Amino acid sequence: MALAGLTRAAEPQKAFPFAYDLHDFPNGLRLITVPTDFPNVVALYIVVQAGSRNEVEAGKSGFAHLFEHMMFRGTKAYPPARWEAVMKEAGAATNAYTSDDHTAYHATFSKEDLPLILEMEADRLQNLEYAPDALKTESLAVLGEYNKSSADPELKIHETLRETAFERHTYRHTTLGYLADIENMPNQYAYSRQFFDRYYRPEYTTILVVGDVVAADVLRQVGKHWSGWKRGSFRPEIPAEPAPTGARRRQLEWPSPTLPWVWVAHRTPAYTDTARDSAALDILSFLGFSESSPLYKKLVLEDQTVDLLAVDAPDHVDPYLFTVTARVKEPKDMAAVEEQILSTLKGFHDTPVAADRLEAVKRHLRYSFALGLDNSEAIAEALARYVALRRTPETINRIYELYSQVTAEDVRDVARRFLVETGRTIVTLTAGGAR
């Protein structure tokens, strides 16, 4: 195979410090190969840009997650027992996960097994076969997963938060999906085949090969088994979420004993690596709510009214949520904890961040990211999250360059624009009858 289209990028000063080769096949498939100095081991991630965001039809939530299960049902060439035997013989650690914006299949194994594993993975992404009975079996497994998770009050809060914060966008439902839709999955064989046909296509797929490899060899192997994969034509119409018009609130009662929860969320913009919004919000989240923040020290360590304080501000393809969560020890303290969270957010509107604190957080974020890239699997895992957003390692370098540029005024600006009452949703949960 000709190596035309092979590109190379590497700068030691960049946040993603590894040289990589990026190749686009005519069918839309993208291959990113990252040779590393870690001997003998290869990490393979296959990132499919289909998550719960893509579940656009009413009554069809949860299918991206269902396919995380279905993809292990095999093909004619590699039925499940044979696929598992090959992976076991290779000593491969395999798994998969589903998020709002993508599904990823991954394996880590010895480099000599890469050709066969690439062949097997190409086969199942192109030729997955399963009967209606297999769909029913996996649907029951998904239902069991949902039922197990439903014993945790955090799932209920998470579901309620999204249903309350969003009106039209598919982020309104969680990755697991609505219970009624999961219960109906066994009857959706025809739709399941349609879902696979729509999204398991090369234009939605990026292959990451990280480890003890030669990029040109990987390109030839992928080309051999993947270049004939046919491009699809489906493009989902993701419903746009209207601008928020005011604060929203829900109070939940949990039927069994549990500690109270307070979740405070605000609508925030989609991930961007060309403006400072995403970077500034990431920095603000650490400044305000990490274990080194004044609020954590007060609520968790000094007052001891809260035993868990966290912030969740994940990057998403479309506008999502910046959420502060607190598990409160006593119901009587919930209102005060909520007020202190809101006061902390308001403080970013009014008082510029101290320059030395801002620079320390920037250094910490960059150092923590770099420290995590200590083996091929960790590199591939980190890369997959960003590739799902922009399909290139360069987005890591761009976002970390933006981190370095964020000013105190940028932090104050995003707080004033996004962390405001208009886009706020608060969900609280107490044990039944508690206030």
Q: pLDDT tens for residues 228-256? A: 999 999 999 999 999 999 999 999 999 99
Q: Shortest CA distance to 338 belongs to which of 418, 423, 263, 258?
A: 263
For the chain, list the domains and their CATH numbers. Answer: 7-226 (3.30.830.10), 248-431 (3.30.830.10)
Contact 219, 20 (CB under 8 A): no
Q: Shortest CA distance to 296 belongs to which of 263, 332, 325, 335?
A: 325
**Would the CA dihedral through 315, 316, 318, 321 be positive or negative?**
negative
Q: What is the mean pLDDT of the chain?
A: 95
Q: What is the pLDDT of residue 4?
A: 43
pLDDT at 273 over 60: yes
User: DSSP per residue over 21-43, as a string?
Assistant: EEEE-TTS-EEEEEE-SS-SEEE
What's the one-letter identity of residue 421? E
Question: What distance in Å separates the CA atoms of residue 322 and residue 344, rounded to the nearest whole number?
Answer: 14
pLDDT at 9 over 70: no
Q: Shortest CA distance to 206 belongs to which of 62, 369, 380?
A: 380
Instruction: Characterise 63 by phi-psi region: left (phi > 0), alpha (psi -120 to 50), beta (else).
Output: alpha
User: DSSP per residue over 219-243, as a string?
Assistant: HHHHHHHHTTPPP------PPPPPP
pLDDT at 3 over 50: no
Kindly state the average pLDDT of the residues 39-58: 97
Q: What is the pLDDT of residue 150?
A: 87
pLDDT at 427 over 70: yes
Q: pLDDT tens for residues 313-350? A: 999 999 999 999 999 999 999 999 999 999 999 999 99
Instruction: Give residue 2's pLDDT band: very low, low, confident or very high (50, 70, 90).
Output: very low
Contact 374, 249 (CB under 8 A): no
pLDDT at 299 over 90: yes
Contacts of 347 (CB under 8 A, 6+ apart): none
Q: What is the pLDDT of residue 305?
A: 98
Q: What is the pLDDT of residue 433?
A: 55
Question: What distance in Å separates the CA atoms of residue 410 and residue 303, rounded to the nearest whole number?
Answer: 31
Question: What distance in Å separates the CA atoms of residue 409 and residue 411, rounded to the nearest whole number?
Answer: 5
pLDDT at 432 over 60: yes
State percent of the chain over pLDDT 90. 95
Q: What is the pLDDT of residue 8?
A: 52
Min mean pLDDT across 1-15, 136-150, 215-229, 293-307 is at 1-15
State percent of the chain over pLDDT 70. 97
**Would the CA dihedral through 278, 283, 288, 290 be positive or negative?**
positive
Q: pLDDT tens for residues 199-226? A: 999 999 999 999 999 999 999 999 999 9
Q: pLDDT tens for residues 99-116? A: 999 999 999 999 999 999
The residue with tokens 């608060």 is 426
Contact 169, 318 (CB under 8 A): yes
Min mean pLDDT across 12-26, 46-60, 117-131, 400-414 is at 12-26
What's the one-letter identity of residue 34? V
Question: What distance in Å separates the CA atoms of residue 312 and residue 156, rounded to the nearest whole number?
Answer: 16
Contact 142, 65 (CB under 8 A): yes
